[in-house]
Amino acid sequence: MADRPQGTAKAGDNRPKLSLHVPEPKFRPGDAVDFSHIVVPEAGAQPRPDETTDPKDMLDFAHGLIRVLGEDNKAHGPWDPKLDPETLRKMLGHMAMTRAFDERMFRGQRQGKTSFYMKCTGEEATSVSASMALAADDMVFPSYRQQGILIQRGYPMIEMINQIYSNKGDKLKGRQLPIMYSSKEHSFFTISGNLATQTPQAVGWAMASAIKGDSRIAATWVGEGSTAEGDFHSACLFATVYNAPVILNVVNNQWAISSFSGFAGAERATFAARGVGYGIASLRVDGNDPLACYAAEQWAANRARANAGPTLIEFFSYRAEGHSTSDDPSGYRSAQEREEWPLGDPVMRLKNHLIELGEWDEERQEKMDLEAAEYVKKTTKEAEANGILGHGLHHPFRTMFEDVFEELPWHLKEQSEQAIHERKTKFPEGLPEA
Amino acid sequence: MSDTKTKDASATEGQTDRRLNMIEAVNEALDVMMERDPNTVIMGEDVGYFGGVFRCTAGLQEKYGKTRVFDTPISECGIIAAAVGMGAYGLRPVPEIQFADYIYPGLDQLISEAARLRYRSAAEYTAPITVRSPFGGGIFGGQTHSQSPEAIFAHVSGLKTVIPATPYDAKGLLISAIEDNDPVIFFEPKRIYNGPFSGYYDKPVEPWKRFEASIVPEGYYNIPLGKARYATKGDELTILAYGTMVHVVEAICREKGVEADIVDLRTIVPVDIETIEESVRKTGRCLIVHEATRTAGFGAELSALVTERCFYHLEAPVLRVTGFDTPYPHSLEWAYFPGPIRIGEALDKILSE
C-alpha cells in the first residue's frame, strides 16, 4: 500500500502560491486620467481589404483601429466612404436629433414622467452611421442603446415617447420597460431587455433570409459587457457555421454599468478578436468616427450580400454618460475620463469635418441643434397628451391579458374575469376608462 | 394474445389500418407539414443526413433538401435562438432538442424570448416554433437522458406544452403544434416510441402495431391542442396522466380489475379542465400520476385544480403518484419509476376511502 504524505506540511507547500486576478479599471473617482496606453493609429493608415477576403488573411483588422477622420478634420485613406455633403449633413442631423432626444427624455425621467431612460451620448455614430450603411429593409436586432437607428430610419418620434411614457398611445400597450421599442414596419426587432439574446436571433433571421434566397441581411448590436453571455458565442458559432448574412456589431463603450470592459475580457484581447477564433471577418473600428463606422458597416453589408459571410465589428467608443437613469457614474469612475477620451466626440468630429469641407458652419450647427431641441420639445408635448407613466392614461385595462397567446385559453379568461372584478371593486363609482 | 385492444394486423390491411410506431408517426407529421408549408424547417443535432438519434427525421433531408432539414452545432441556446430569429422572419421552425435533459441551455431563449415575443411586441412579432424533444425515463438513460421537465415549461406564461401518448395522437398533435402560431414544447415519451409500456420493465415490449392507437391515417389530420381524451372509461375513479404513464396506469387498472376514467391530458398547458371536471364529478375520486419529480410537479397543479373545482364531489383526498425528488438514478431506475407497486397501493388507498 502506498504511503500517504506524512507530517505537518501541507501537500504542495514547496510550490508557489496561486493568486487570483480580479480586474481593476485604471482610474477610479478622483484619479487623474491618462489614456496614453490606448493606441490610436493615424487616420487613413489602415488598408481596406476586398469584401470577400478570407478571414484568415485579415487577422490584423481585429487588433488595429480603422479610422477615417483625422485630427485635421479631413477624411483619409481607403476607408473614406466618400459620402456627398448632403448625406453627411443628414448623418449629422440624425446624430444631433438623437442627442437632443436623449437630453429631453433623461430630463423627463428626472421630472417623474417615466421610470427609466438610457442615453447613448458619445455613441451616436455606432447606430446612426452604421444604420445609414444598411438598406432600410435590412433587419436590425438592436440592444437598448441604438435609438439612433430608429431616428435614422424615420420612426415617428412620438411613438418612441409614447412607449417611454407607457401611455395610451404606446403601441406596445405599456408592457415593456421604457426604450424597449419594436417596429416591424421599420425592420426593427423588439428589444428584449435581457442581454445578448438578440444576437443569435439575428443570425437565425439571416439564415432564414438565406434559406429563402432573399437579398435582405441582418445586423445586430450588443455591448462589450454583454458579449460575455453565452448567446453571443452561439451567435458567432451559428454565423460562421452557416456563413450567415449577418453583421455582429459590438459597441465597446468601455463600461457595463460600473464594470469596466476588463470584466468582459478586454485586458487580454480586443472584442473584435473574438471573431477570429470563429473564422469570422473581424474589424476593429474607431466608434467615434462617423465615417469609419459607416465604411465598416458598408464593408460588412457588401460582404454579407455577396454571400461571403458574417462580419464582427468592434466599435471602440466611450459611454460618456451613466448606464441609465438608475446609476451615477461619479461613484465608480473618474469624471476626467470623458474629457480625456482620445477619440473625441462623434458629433463634434462630423461637424468639424463638414466645416472643413466648407459645407457647414457654426451658425447652421447652432440653428440645427436649436431646431432639434424644439422638435423634441414639441413632440414630447404631443405625446404627453396621451399621458405620462402612472397618471392613469395608460392602455385599456383589458389589454393586459391579450397577446399572451394568439387566443385566450380558459385559465387566462378566468384570471381576466378576476382582474375585472377587482377593478370594479376598486372603482365602484365607475371605471376611470372605457 | 389476450389484450382486447389487439387486432390481427394482417387481416385488416388497407389504407385506414396502417400501423405506425410513434417514431414513424412523428416522422409522418413532419413530412406532412414540410410538404404543406414551405416555411417549415427542421433543425437540430444529428437530424439531417443521419435522421436523428431516434430516427424521427429519417429521410426528410433527402426529400426536402439541406436548407430545410439541417444539422446544428451542439448549442441548445443557439438552436432555440436561431429558431426565434427564423420565426421572426416568417418561417415555422421545428427544432429538435435531442434529449429534454439538454434543453436547459436554451431556457432563456424559450422563457424570456420565444414565450414573450408576442406579448412584449404587442403581436408585431411572434414565435411560431415547435420544440420537439424526447423525454422521460425507463430506458436506462441515467440522470441526463431520462428527465421529465414539463412542469418548468408549464410554469411559463406564453408556452404550450404537449405530450402525446400514442402514435395516432403524436401525429395529429404534432401537426397542430406546428400549425400553432405560438411556441409549443412537444415532449415525446421515448419509452413508448416503439410500444406502450405496462410498467413491468422485465416483460418484453409489445410493439405498437398490436394496438389500435397505432392506426395512423395517411396525410393530414390534426388533434386540437388543449383537448384531453379518455384512454379508458370507468366509474370507480379518475386517473389523470400523460405520456408513458397513461399506459402504465392502464395496464395496472386492467391487472387489478379497476374500472377507471383514465384521462390522457395530451396537452398540459392549456389543460382540458372541462374533461377533468366532468370525470372527477362523476367518479368522486382522483389519482394523478406522472413520472417527473414530485415537489412542484405538474401533479401539484392538477391536484389544486381538482380540489378547488370539485371539492364537494370528492369522496377521497386527491392523491399523487410520481417519481421521487431525486435526480434520475441509473442503476436504481426501476426503484425510482412510479411503477405497479406505487400506483397499485395508491389505487387501493383511494378506493378504500
Residue B202 domain-assigned (yes or no): no
C-alpha to C-alpha distance for B57 and B76, rounded to whole angstroms = 18
pLDDT digits 0-9 by tens, B41-95 = 999 999 999 999 999 999 999 999 999 999 999 999 999 999 999 999 999 999 9
User: DSSP 3-state assignment of B180?
Assistant: coil
pLDDT at position B1? 31
Does residue B145 carry a catalytic annotation? yes
Cis ω before B270 (30° cut-off from 0): yes
User: Are residues A409 and B270 in contact, defined by beta-carbon separation less than 8 angstroms?
Assistant: yes
What SS3 state is found at A260? Answer: strand
The three-class DSSP label of residue B145 is coil
Intra-chain end-to-end CA distance of chain A, in Å: 85
Contact A206 B85 (CB under 8 A): yes
Q: What's the rounded Cα separation, in Å, for the pair A412 and A417? A: 9
Asked whether residue A305 falls in the same domain as residue A420, the answer is no
Residues A194 and A233 in one domain: yes
What number of other Cβ atoms are within 10 A of residue B100's Cβ?
26
Are B43 and B152 contained in the same domain?
Answer: yes
For residue B6, is it within any domain?
A: no
Single out the residue of A245, A244, A265, A243 nearest to residue A256, CA to CA.
A265
Residue B236 and residue B188 in one domain: no
Same domain, yes or no, for A402 and A349? no
Cα torsion B335, B340, B345, B349: sign:
positive
How far is CA A322 from each of CA A94, A213, A325, B40, B193, rounded to the nearest angstrom? 22, 43, 7, 44, 56
* B26 and B125 part of one domain: yes
Residue A60: inside a domain, yes or no? yes
Please calculate the CA angle A328-A331-A335 and round it to the nearest 5 degrees. 85
Q: What share of chain A is helix, strand, coil (3-state, %, to 5)?
A: 40, 10, 50
What CATH code is carried by the domain that includes residue B162? 3.40.50.970
Q: Mark yes or no for CB contact A411/B273 under 8 Å.
A: yes
Asked if A408 contacts A400 with a C-beta cutoff of 8 angstroms, the reply is: no
A411 and A362 in a common domain:
no
Co-location of B186 and B231 in the same domain: no
Residue A203 and residue B81: Cβ atoms within 8 Å? Answer: yes
Q: What CATH number corresponds to the domain at position A280?
A: 3.40.50.970
Residue B220 lies in a domain: no
- Residue A290 CA to residue A92 CA, distance in Å, equals 9
Residue B317 main-chain phi, psi, to 5 deg? -60, 145
**How far does A388 lie from chain B, in Å, by closest CA?**
19
Determine which helix (DSSP H) or strand (DSSP E) holds B256, and give its type and residue range: helix B244-256
Q: Report yes or no: A182 and A188 within 8 Å, Cβ to Cβ.
A: yes
Whether B331 is in a domain gets the answer: yes
Q: Distance of CA B325 to CAs A175, A291, A421, Å?
A: 37, 60, 39
**B174 and B276 part of one domain:** no
Parts of chain B with a pLDDT under 50: 1-14
Same domain, A97 and A167: yes
Q: How many Cβ pairs closer than 8 A exist between chain A and B?
A: 143
In Å, how far is A210's CA from the nearest CA of chain B?
Answer: 9
For residue A148, give the nearest of A171, A120, A122 by alpha carbon: A120
Picking from B192, B214, B243, the residue at the C-terminal end of a domain is B192
One domain for residues A273 and A403: no
Which of B75, B89, B269 lies nearest to residue A237, judging by beta carbons?
Answer: B75
Among A171, A194, A208, select the one facing B86 at the smallest CB separation: A208
Instruction: Please indicate, yes or no, if residue B9 is contained in any of the structural domains.
Output: no
**Are A344 and A279 members of one domain?**
yes
The gap from C-alpha B259 to its chain's centroid, in whole angstroms, comes to 24
With respect to residue B280, please indicate whether it lies within any of the assigned structural domains.
yes
CA angle B172, B240, B245 (to 5 degrees): 70
User: Complex ipTM above 0.90?
Assistant: yes
The answer for B 274-313 residues in CB contact with A (under 8 A) is: none
Cell of B309: 373545482
A393 in any annotated domain: no
Minimum distance, in Å, between the CA of residue A188 and any CA atom of chain B: 10
Q: 101-120 in B: which are within 8 Å (CB) of A? A: 105, 108-109, 112-113, 117-120
Nearest-5° angle of CA B136, CA B138, CA B140?
Answer: 110
Residues A330, A418 within the same domain: no
User: What residues in A contact B89, CB-CB < 8 Å?
Assistant: 139, 204-205, 208-209, 212
Q: Is the dihedral of CA A117, A123, A124, A129 positive or negative?
A: negative
Among B171, B192, B213, give the residue marking a domain's end: B192
Q: Is residue A201 part of a domain?
A: yes
B106 Cβ contact list (under 8 Å, min separation 6): B76, B77, B79, B80, B81, B97, B131
Same-domain pairing of A369 and A402:
no
What number of other Cβ atoms are within 10 A of residue B101's Cβ? 21
Binary contact (B109, A197; C-beta < 8 A)? yes
pLDDT at A432: 61
**Do B128 and B258 fall within a single domain?**
no
| Residues of chain A contacting residue B71, judged by C-beta atoms under 8 Å apart | none
The values of phi and psi at residue B80, to 5°, are -70, -40
Which amino acid belongs to residue B249? Answer: V
Per annotation, catalytic residue among B145, B155, B247, B330? B145
Taking the model in full, what pTM does it have?
0.95
Is residue A43 included in any domain, yes or no? no
Residue with cell string 374500472 = B259
CATH number reported for the structural domain that contains residue B300 in this entry: 3.40.50.920
Distance CA A71, CA A65 (A): 15
- Name the residue type at position A233: H
Domain shared by B178 and B318, yes or no: no
Q: Name the helix (H) or strand (E) containing A96.
A: helix A85-110
Mutate to test the interface with A, among B66, B91, B119 (most CBs of A within 10 A): B119
Please, what is the Cα angle at B196 between B195 and B198, to 5 degrees? 130
Q: How many alpha carbons fall within 13 Å on the CB side of residue B350?
A: 26
Clarify whether residues B51 and B188 are in a common domain: yes
Domain residues for A417?
398-426
Closest by CA position to B268, among listed B250, B245, B251 = B245
Q: Is A417 in a helix, a strand, or coil?
A: helix
Residue A190 with chain B: CB contacts under 8 Å:
117, 120-121, 124-125
In this structure, what DSSP letter does residue A339 have?
H
Q: Is residue A29 part of a domain?
A: no
Q: Quick check: is B97 in a domain? A: yes
Ordered per-residue pLDDT tens for chain A, 434 residues: 566 656 566 667 789 999 999 999 999 999 999 999 999 999 999 999 999 999 999 999 999 999 999 999 999 999 999 999 999 999 999 999 999 999 999 999 999 999 999 999 999 999 999 999 999 999 999 999 999 999 999 999 999 999 999 999 999 999 999 999 999 999 999 999 999 999 999 999 999 999 999 999 999 999 999 999 999 999 999 999 999 999 999 999 999 999 999 999 999 999 999 999 999 999 999 999 999 999 999 999 999 999 999 999 999 999 999 999 999 999 999 999 999 999 999 999 999 999 999 999 999 999 999 999 999 999 999 999 999 998 888 888 889 999 999 999 999 999 999 998 998 898 888 766 54
| Residue B276 sits in the same domain as residue B337 | yes
* C-beta separation of A147 from A119 below 8 A: no
Closest-approach residue (CA) in chain A for B123: A403
- Gap between the terminal Cα atoms of chain B: 35
CA angle A269, A275, A277 (to 5 degrees): 80
Q: What is the pLDDT of residue A430?
A: 76
| Interatomic CA distance for residues B27 and B55, integer angstroms | 8
Contact B97, B103 (CB under 8 A): yes
Tell me how many domains chain A contains.
2
Distances (CA, A) of B330 to A41, A421, B138, B327: 60, 51, 10, 9
In B, which residues are within 8 Å of A210 by CB distance?
A: 67
> Do B127 and B39 belong together in one domain?
yes
The residue in chain A having the minimum alpha-carbon distance to the alpha carbon of residue B65 is A211
Residues A187 and A315 in one domain: yes
* Structural domain contains residue B159: yes
Q: Please report residues of A whose CB lies closer than 8 A to that of B226.
A: 409
Contact A208 B158 (CB under 8 A): no
With residue A22 as reference, give the H or E element that holds it: none
Same domain, A271 and A150: yes
- Give the count of domains, chain B: 2
**Amino acid A7: pLDDT:** 59
DSSP-assigned beta bridge partners for residue B260 = B237
Residues B104 and B186 in one domain: yes
Query: Can you give the residue range of the structural domain that contains B253?
Result: 226-352
Asked if B52 and B181 sit in the same domain, the reply is: yes
CB atoms within 10 A of CB B2: 5
pLDDT reported for residue A195? 97
The amino acid occupying position A421 is H
**Measured distance CA(B159)–CA(B171) in Å, rounded:** 20
Helix (H, G, I), strand (E, B) or coil at B230: strand
Q: How far apart are CA B230 and CA A430, in angstroms?
A: 46
- In 3D space, the residue among A97, A80, A14 whose CA is nearest the CA of residue A45 turns out to be A80
Distance CA A148, CA A100 (A): 11
CA angle B118–B170–B193, rounded 5-degree value: 125
- A82 shares its domain with A125: yes
